[in-house]
Structure 1
Amino acid sequence: MRSNSIDTANLTGIFADGRWIAADGDDLLEVVNPATERVIGYAPMASDRDVDVAVQAATRALPAWSAAGPTARAFVLSRLAIEVEARAEDFGRIVTRENGSPVQETTSTAMNAARILAYYASLAGSLDCEDLRPSGVAGLVSRVARRPVGVAGLITPWNFPLSILAMKLGPALLAGCTVVAKPAPETPLHLAVLAEALVAAEVPPGVVNLVAGGVSTGQAIVEHPGVAKIAFTGSTEAGRQIAVACARQLKPVTLELGGKSAALVLDDVDADVLRANLMRASLRNNGQTCYAATRLLLPRARYAELVDAVADVVQGAVVGDPMREETQVGPLVSDRQRQRVEDYVALGRSEGATVATGGSRPQHLPVGYYVEPTLFTDSNPGMRIAREEIFGPVLVAMPYADEDEGIAMVNDSPFGLAGMVYGDDLDRAERVACRFEAGTVGINSLVLNPVAPFGGWKESGLGVELGPEAVTPYLRYQSVTGNLR
């Protein structure tokens, strides 16, 4: 399903029943390398019929996969983790060419995905044990059984296509679900490598099915009566539409949505710690990270000093070809995304904010969807650039007077995905972090821990991913009560 060179790839069908099947329609997704603006491949736009073929394959595979038991499923998950990691170079190169992520980011994408899959394999024992519960009535006991919900539809975004799929795939497969997965239309080509890994890992046919497509394909998955559960990562607006569609069907849904995370920099911070962590916490993946801490709340007494420290990092970021090891900021995923970011930069200026550094296209990069990393100052919490998700390398710095005002500014947001506290006194920093209205908060760094739940509050989503808590949404429970032994 792909050419001999991983630099280009063409999908000619859907992956269902453990093999590639010709697509129903003739419509194609054109995949453009955002660094060169050149087409690097094509993928079929899966039709409603294609989705139905994938769902039917998953439905046929469900009884045997469910009956196999957690230990057997975990063994397959472990094999898949090994095969995914074995293709790290292929995954890294093709994802960089699909979405412009710097290769220093995508080099580890397969290892991160493999780590997540292996973690869920390690949880098999917690599902294998039998759960007997006394009823309080003499002689009566309840046996609580965990069953997979059925076929799960997994819909993932373009910014971290493999890692985010693994966050859904691991718990779904361990729980005994079979799946139909669809990546974003900008990043379908890595499915060729993933299908190779699935076959090499001997994942039973029909357990994992892959389709490419756009909004209509995603809608077909969400509305298909054979799909029992949806897991979606993407924008808040798209999440609302999916939630409504699932509500009509009383279909369970997990939503990991947008964010406008804040970094609260305490007055005792070591400026060097701020400098060392700013790129990963706030500008990771060209600023296209849902939990990136793009609102920088700085103590008024040290505002000028800390703005200078931030500006030094932002201005010094290496912008260029994402295939070069030294590149820290590559192109945005598409011309449309670049236009969105540029519109917000123009909006910030019109709102009265000052561009301290950046704000334009890099002059040395006339080709590619590049935007300079940008820092706004003279900002306030009411500005749209401080309230709306930009999803690009744009930071907004604002001063606060004291700790209480800083916390109030952190929580004055419709989003609650993540946040960050910078400070030298770690006990104080933890106390402050616990006051955030957000699902994930980092202290002096911002990373996702596979063994800890990750989920948004407020308009940032419903439910959680990662950690053992992520398995429950793929399960349904049955209690059988009687004089049981």
Structure 2
Amino acid sequence: MTNRTIELKHPRQLYIDGEWVEPSTAGVFDVLDCSTEQVVATVARAESADMQRAVAAARKAFDDGPWPRMTPLERAGFLEKIAVRLEALNDEFARIWSLETGIVYKVAQPRIGLFISGAFRQYAAMASTFPFTEPCQSVTGNDAYRVYEPVGVVAEIIPWNGPAGLLAYKTAPALLAGCTLVIKSPPEAPCSGYLFAQVCEEVGLPPGVVNVITAERDVSEALVRSPDVDKITFTGSTGAGRRIASIAGDRVARVTLELGGKSPAVILDDYDVETAAATLGNSYFGYNSGQICHSLTRIIVPRAKHDAMVEALSAIAREIVLGDPLAATTTSGPLANARQRDTVERFVAMGVAEGAVLATGGKRPPHLARGFFFEPTVFGNVDNRSSIAQQEIFGPVLSVIPADDEASAIRMANDTPFGLNAAVFTNDRDRALAVARQIRAGTVGHNGPRTDFSIGFGGFKQSGIGREGGVEGLTAFMESKTIVLS
């Protein structure tokens, strides 16, 4: 796979009101191949005036257009058409993901369909199963209905680490609900949004139903502040999520926030360390270089097995083949950008300064002079209250934390401001369920990472508000209304 450019039909334009339009300025974003640092695409930079135009188009489409007034089955027909086109473009979405963020192509290629076309097919099927209009009986004996109606104009703010899949799990339920959308793609990874806009045009969505722009944070903030936006759905850092929530709170706008994580893997005393290390190390280092919010980065292990876990994870880290994410022999690619690599370097230095033992990795690989590469890194004897155990690093760094017993392991798992994901490693299913119920996280897997958007995904505490995927991912884009007849 030698072609390293990203071909888009309208890279210097914005998709607004069903058309490719000229932006208000000549500003652009250069998109870098994160393994070569070369420009692979250049896209239009939206400013506040462009955002306002997109919001106006979505507002008009919601207030006056046909989309909210179609039946769910009619809207589902469009979702099915979108799914067909996404399947046809699966490999290109995977290649874009690899070039923009560094995920290995052979990992991205089979996964991307589960997220993008899978999301649209799942929600298309819900048109026949979800009770959009449900007969009820009023306490006074009157006939009544509970109906679900679209929340309105939705602003989607998409992250750079997995833009296509996260766009899909926001867009598919919002469209089925009858909402209209302004999708704000990230400057670091905008090309999936462009490709999706091309699909929307091809399937003939009514004008203004989906609008796609790429912009910086100042435009995102103006989008959140817009009184014509009824709901904001955001995936990104907890800091940015706090800002969005505070702005939305001023006008009581609806929000779904999928934020950061510092997720624990609790290894119980009956489970084999080598087996746990193989599951954790290979899934973590090999999946987007740790640039995943729900990664299991805190490995809490019985104190007697601590050294064995550190050595097992270090052995896996040393076997990782860093390189071009498009190459068949590569098992882990670069970080997405220089800023993220700098962040990882800073945390590694903090880990050493705070007394953790750097077992392996911890620096830029000397044989890879270009690209945003960083060695898979393992720390041992990590204090659960230290910076590397409490703050999200978003890079290939694992922390092994010794625990005295099961109760202390559970306490440490919960001793964090986050609560996005977790896992319990034990041979006893009943014990796994009992421990899982004590961990405050939106998902808890047994013997590995088990996040499942088809059921629901989201976090406790500062990991967010609301859920994406599943039935909750649909109701998040609707208002429930009670109608009582006389």
In the alignment, the residues of structure 1 paired with residue 112 and residue 17 of structure 2 have an alpha-carbon distance, to the nearest angstrom, of: 24
Partner secondary structure for residue 145 of structure 2: strand
The 3 A distance-change label for structure 1 pair 282 and 435 is farther
Q: Does 1:315 align with 2:318?
A: yes
Q: Does 1:469 align with 2:468?
A: no
Partner secondary structure for residue 128 of structure 2: helix
In the alignment, the residues of structure 2 paired with residue 456 and residue 25 of structure 1 have an alpha-carbon distance, to the nearest angstrom, of: 39
Match of 1:31 in 2: 31
Give the CA deviation at 1:75.
1.2
Which shows bigger deviation, 312-321 or 253-262? Answer: 312-321
Partner secondary structure for residue 405 of structure 1: helix
The 3 A distance-change label for structure 1 pair 378 and 200 is same
Match of 2:67 in 1: 65
Give the CA deviation at 1:223.
1.3
Decide whether the 8 Å contact of 1:415 with 1:458 is kept in 2: yes
Match of 1:340 in 2: 343
> Which amino acid counterpart does residue 230 of structure 2 have in structure 1?
A
Give the CA deviation at 1:145.
2.0
Decide whether the 8 Å contact of 1:88 with 1:109 is kept in 2: no
Decide whether the 8 Å contact of 2:350 with 2:388 is kept in 1: yes
- Which ranges in structure 2 are unaligned for 5 or more consecutive residues? none
Match of 2:422 in 1: 419
In the alignment, the residues of structure 1 paired with residue 255 and residue 375 of structure 2 have an alpha-carbon distance, to the nearest angstrom, of: 37
Q: 1:321-378: per-residue Cα shift (whole Å, max 9, x none)?
A: 1111232221111111101100111111111111101011111111111110000012
Decide whether the 8 Å contact of 1:417 with 1:440 is kept in 2: yes
Give the CA deviation at 1:463.
0.7
Give the CA deviation at 1:397.
0.5
Match of 1:12 in 2: 12
In the alignment, the residues of structure 2 paired with residue 299 and residue 204 of structure 1 have an alpha-carbon distance, to the nearest angstrom, of: 58
1:158-169 equivalent positions in 2, closer than 5 A: 158-169=160-171
> Which amino acid counterpart does residue 7 of structure 1 have in structure 2?
I
Q: 1:186-213: per-residue Cα shift (whole Å, max 9, x none)?
A: 0012233212222232322221110001
Match of 1:263 in 2: 265
The 3 A distance-change label for structure 1 pair 398 and 103 is same
1:268-307 equivalent positions in 2, closer than 5 A: 268-279=270-281, 281-283=283-285, 284-307=287-310
Q: 1:38-92: per-residue Cα shift (whole Å, max 9, x none)?
A: 1222222211111122122222322411111111111111111111111012111
Partner secondary structure for residue 367 of structure 2: coil
Decide whether the 8 Å contact of 2:158 with 2:235 is kept in 1: yes
Give the CA deviation at 1:306.
2.2
Give the CA deviation at 1:404.
0.2
Q: Does 1:380 align with 2:383?
A: yes
Q: 1:429-465: per-residue Cα shift (whole Å, max 9, x none)?
A: 1211111111111111213323212111111101111
Give the CA deviation at 1:155.
0.5
Partner secondary structure for residue 100 of structure 2: helix
- Percent identity, aligned pairs only, is 38
Q: 1:292-325: per-residue Cα shift (whole Å, max 9, x none)?
A: 0100111112222222221111221121111112
In the alignment, the residues of structure 2 paired with residue 377 and residue 273 of structure 1 have an alpha-carbon distance, to the nearest angstrom, of: 18
Give the CA deviation at 1:279.
3.7
- Which ranges in structure 1 are unaligned for 5 or more consecutive residues? none
Q: Does 1:203 align with 2:205?
A: yes
Match of 1:396 in 2: 399
RMSD (CA atoms) = 1.7
In the alignment, the residues of structure 1 paired with residue 23 and residue 407 of structure 2 have an alpha-carbon distance, to the nearest angstrom, of: 57
> Which amino acid counterpart does residue 326 of structure 1 have in structure 2?
T
What TM-score comes out, normalization by structure 2 length?
A: 0.95
> Which amino acid counterpart does residue 247 of structure 1 have in structure 2?
G
Give the CA deviation at 1:128.
5.4
Matched pairs, number: 479
Decide whether the 8 Å contact of 2:457 with 2:468 is kept in 1: yes
> Which amino acid counterpart does residue 476 of structure 2 have in structure 1?
P
In the alignment, the residues of structure 1 paired with residue 281 and residue 194 of structure 2 have an alpha-carbon distance, to the nearest angstrom, of: 31
In the alignment, the residues of structure 1 paired with residue 431 and residue 410 of structure 2 have an alpha-carbon distance, to the nearest angstrom, of: 13
Match of 2:462 in 1: 459
Which shows bigger deviation, 54-63 or 419-428? Answer: 54-63
In the alignment, the residues of structure 1 paired with residue 5 and residue 84 of structure 2 have an alpha-carbon distance, to the nearest angstrom, of: 20
Which shows bigger deviation, 10-19 or 372-381? Answer: 10-19
Give the CA deviation at 1:175.
0.6
Give the CA deviation at 1:98.
1.4
Q: 1:225-281: per-residue Cα shift (whole Å, max 9, x none)?
A: 211100000000000000011001110000000010011011111334314421454
Decide whether the 8 Å contact of 1:85 with 1:110 is kept in 2: no
Give the CA deviation at 1:222.
0.9
Match of 1:108 in 2: 110
Give the CA deviation at 1:94.
1.7
Partner secondary structure for residue 214 of structure 2: coil
Which shows bigger deviation, 197-206 or 249-258? Answer: 197-206
In the alignment, the residues of structure 1 paired with residue 193 and residue 421 of structure 2 have an alpha-carbon distance, to the nearest angstrom, of: 29
Match of 1:54 in 2: 54
1:138-287 equivalent positions in 2, closer than 5 A: 138=141, 140-279=142-281, 281-283=283-285, 284-287=287-290
Decide whether the 8 Å contact of 1:356 with 1:376 is kept in 2: yes
> Which amino acid counterpart does residue 350 of structure 1 have in structure 2?
A
The 3 A distance-change label for structure 1 pair 197 and 392 is same
In the alignment, the residues of structure 1 paired with residue 133 and residue 240 of structure 2 have an alpha-carbon distance, to the nearest angstrom, of: 39
Partner secondary structure for residue 125 of structure 1: coil
Match of 2:357 in 1: 354
Decide whether the 8 Å contact of 2:278 with 2:313 is kept in 1: no
1:109-128 equivalent positions in 2, closer than 5 A: 109-112=111-114, 113-127=116-130
Decide whether the 8 Å contact of 1:332 with 1:370 is kept in 2: yes
Decide whether the 8 Å contact of 1:155 with 1:181 is kept in 2: yes
The 3 A distance-change label for structure 1 pair 378 and 276 is closer
Give the CA deviation at 1:19.
2.1
Partner secondary structure for residue 471 of structure 1: helix
